[in-house]
């Protein structure tokens, strides 16, 4: 199909979904060569929905027996959540597939691809999938800022209005937005033991409640003693926006192969409703109507 630029990033459509140019061949490779293990934990997200945050949370929950969360040697206080919990596509981009074999169990691996494009070994093995999405208006605004920050020298950004128009036509990396959300939503209803569906807004509203939910879903519920000791609250604090933003590796470290950019690009405002400062009332109405129409009858709402 033809190329469409979102922000500065060239994207191609493949089986109804939009892929950043450099990630399409990698995704196709992953589909056939990635071998999931039943104990893998897969985090699937819509881009800019809080992936970094949830990586930190799940890492902290799963590894809570190894580290004291308040301890200064905790990996999350010394490295980026993207290093503790890598994207499968980043491992492939760096041609580091051997790393997959040496990761401790449970392996924590992240993707942005829609459910229907996951490697069969993920969908067919017993591994768990946690899915995270976010109000599309906020995710769109977040994406624009992010692309601005990761834009390599020599590239130009589209005007905001042009990207907005494309977004309404379904052009969003690993989108259309509604199609990606609906695939995971339906799967979470069909197989609740396999897919846990979550919204950024719900995580913001009550992180502690959701952390307990993850632990239960992942088969590592908190004991009464841990709850009494305040382990959940410690994880909330450890993964809080301010804590994470101030970690040196998150300020100064780098991410990406196609374009290298500062990890700080993953930490901007971390709030709900920032779209209000960027959308005209007409734009907001257009998205709202579109989303309402696309999600109609599904039970999913924003």
121 or 278: CB nearest ligand A3P? 278
Planar angle of CA 256, 257, 263, nearest 5 degrees:
15
Closest approach of Cβ 177 to ligand A3P, in Å?
13
Q: What DSSP assignment string belongs to 266-278?
A: G-S---S-GGGGT
Catalytic residue among 112, 117, 255, 278: 112
Strands 195-199 vs 128-133: parallel, antiparallel or unpaired: parallel
Task: Establish if 210 lies at the interface with ligand A3P (CB under 6 A).
Answer: no
Task: Establish if 138 lies at the interface with ligand A3P (CB under 6 A).
Answer: yes
Task: Establish if 241 lies at the interface with ligand A3P (CB under 6 A).
Answer: yes
Task: Establish if 48 lies at the interface with ligand A3P (CB under 6 A).
Answer: yes
- Do residues 117 and 44 make contact, with C-beta atoms less than 8 angstroms apart? no
Tracing tokens 């017993």 back to the chain, one arrives at 126
- Pure H helices in the chain: 24-33, 51-62, 81-84, 88-93, 98-102, 120-124, 136-150, 160-168, 177-190, 200-205, 207-217, 224-229, 231-238, 241-246, 248-252, 281-295
Closest approach of Cβ 108 to ligand A3P, in Å?
15
Residue 257, both tokens:
């192969």
CB within 8 A of 5, min separation 6: which ones? 11, 158
Q: Is 112 a catalytic residue?
A: yes
Give the per-residue contact string, 86-125, with ligand A3P (x = CB under 6 A; - = no): ----------------------------------------
7 or 270: CB nearest ligand A3P? 270
| Stretch binding ligand A3P (CB under 6 A), from 14-22, 48-56, 101-109, 147-155 | 48-56
Closest approach of Cβ 48 to ligand A3P, in Å?
4
35 or 248: CB nearest ligand A3P? 248
Task: Establish if 266 lies at the interface with ligand A3P (CB under 6 A).
Answer: yes
27, 49, 69, 188: which one binds ligand A3P (CB under 6 A)? 49
Task: Establish if 7 lies at the interface with ligand A3P (CB under 6 A).
Answer: no
Q: What separation in angstroms does the CA of 220 have from each of 58, 62, 65, 123, 217?
A: 11, 7, 11, 21, 8
Residue 277, both tokens:
């400062």
| Stretch binding ligand A3P (CB under 6 A), from 6-14, 180-188, 261-269, 277-285 | 261-269
> 6 forms bridges with which residues in the sheet?
9
Helix H, strand E, coil C: the string for 65-91 is: CCCCCCCCCCHHHCCCHHHHCCEHHHH
Tracing tokens 């309402």 back to the chain, one arrives at 292
Closest approach of Cβ 147 to ligand A3P, in Å?
11
63, 142, 158, 188: which one binds ligand A3P (CB under 6 A)? 142
Task: Establish if 45 lies at the interface with ligand A3P (CB under 6 A).
Answer: yes
User: Residues in the site for ligand A3P, rule: CB under 6 A?
Assistant: 45, 47-53, 138, 142, 145, 239-241, 244, 266-270, 274
User: Hey, which residues are catalytic here?
Assistant: 112
């Amino acid at each position: 199909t033809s190329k469409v630029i979102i922000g500065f990033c060239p994207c191609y459509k493949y089986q109804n979904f939009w892929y950043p140019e450099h990630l399409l061949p990698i995704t196709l490779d992953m589909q056939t060569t990635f071998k999931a293990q039943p104990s893998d934990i897969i985090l699937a997200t819509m881009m800019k929905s809080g992936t970094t945050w949830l990586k930190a949370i799940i890492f902290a929950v799963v590894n809570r027996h190894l580290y004291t969360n308040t301890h200064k040697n905790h990996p999350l206080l010394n490295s980026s959540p993207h290093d503790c919990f890598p994207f499968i596509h980043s491992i492939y981009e760096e041609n580091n597939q051997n790393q997959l074999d040496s990761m401790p169990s449970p392996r924590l691996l992240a993707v942005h691809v829609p459910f229907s494009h996951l490697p069969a070994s993920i969908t067919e093995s017993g591994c768990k999938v946690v899915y995270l999405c976010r109000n599309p208006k906020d995710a769109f605004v977040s994406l624009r800022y992010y692309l601005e920050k990761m834009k390599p020298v020599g590239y130009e950004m589209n005007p905001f209005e042009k990207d907005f128009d494309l977004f309404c036509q379904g052009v969003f990396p690993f989108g259309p937005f509604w199609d990606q959300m609906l695939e995971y939503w339906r799967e979470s209803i069909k197989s609740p033991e396999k897919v846990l569906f979550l919204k950024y807004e719900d995580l913001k509203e009550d992180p502690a409640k959701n952390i307990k939910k993850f632990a239960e879903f992942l088969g590592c519920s908190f004991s009464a003693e841990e709850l009494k000791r305040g382990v959940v609250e410690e994880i909330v604090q450890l993964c809080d926006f301010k804590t994470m933003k101030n970690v040196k590796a998150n300020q100064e470290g780098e991410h990406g192969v196609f374009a290298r950019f500062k990890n700080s690009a993953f930490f901007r405002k971390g709030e709900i409703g920032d779209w209000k400062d960027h959308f005209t009332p007409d734009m907001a109405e257009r998205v709202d109507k579109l989303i309402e129409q696309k999600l109609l009858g599904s039970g999913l709402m924003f």
